[in-house]
Amino acid sequence: MTVYAIIGGTGLTELNGLQLREALSIDTPYGAPSASVLRGDYFGQEVLFLARHGHPHRIPPHQVNYRANLWALKEAGAQAILAMNAVGGIHASMGAGHFCVPHQIVDYTYGRAHSFFEGPDLDHVTHIDFSYPYDESLRQRLINALQTEACRFSAQGVYGCTQGPRLETVAEIVRMERDGCDIVGMTGMPEAVLARELNLPYACLSLVVNPAAGKSAGIITMAEIEAVLAEGIGQARSVLGRVLQAADV
């Protein structure tokens, strides 16, 4: 049975319903992960859970130790990763409360540790193929689960990853829309590429919590974002549970 790891983003710092077996404090060559890796049973399946921003939610997206997080999950026995991300909607179809299962990503981040293949001790330079950043089998599992749960969702989309922690300007969103981005978030990279370097199949379930800058009449408020999260995270948990229940043997 595949051991899935769930990486929880904003609004998902706890996995309600997880029957905890143990909390693992794992030392990595890259420092400490954001939180302990929780091992337990969820919807009848063994699962690992890690809060990307820590618990409580305290680590901003540009300071998440992505390398330590992915390394710790691999060390704990993860064989595939389901990542949860709160995002802004750029495309007209990506309204608040809408889910998206991205198929592509554009990286606008800088200064983050983007690879395990670096440093003075390397024997040779390593290039990995990243043409298709998300595992298609996992994407289809998420899509099937969203259909079963009757959620509003898009089966594909381009995720634009920005540096944060500030939200984007209107001009930046205009640029990203020209680049083909459908949603905007701050945590999709380098998480996806680090999973690829560790040979961990990876897919992302994105919940649109607000219209991107310039896509609504007013400014973006945290109260509005939190209201969408309150409803959407419950749906996301059900979707993730569906994926686990349909897990392969």
Q: What is the dihedral of CA 96, 228, 98, 132, to 10 degrees?
A: 100
186 assigned ligand-binding residue: yes
76 is in an annotated binding site: no
Tell whether 58 is in a known binding site.
Answer: no
Number of Cβ within a 10 Å radius of residue 176: 24
- Residue 235 vs residues 8, 228, 238: alpha-carbon distances, Å: 14, 11, 5
69 marked among binding-site residues: no
Whether residue 237 is annotated as binding a ligand: the answer is no
- The answer to whether the annotation marks 221 as part of a ligand binding site is no
DSSP string, 203-240: EEEEEEEEEPTTSSSS---HHHHHHHHHHHHHHHHHHH
The reply, when asked if residue 53 is annotated as ligand binding, is yes
> Which residues are CB-neighbours of 119 under 8 A, at least 6 positions away?
none
Q: Is 169 annotated as a binding residue?
A: no
Feature table: binding site: 10, 52-53, 186-187, 210-212
Residue stretches of the annotated binding site for substrate: 186, 210-212
Binding site residues for phosphate, as ranges? 10, 52-53, 187
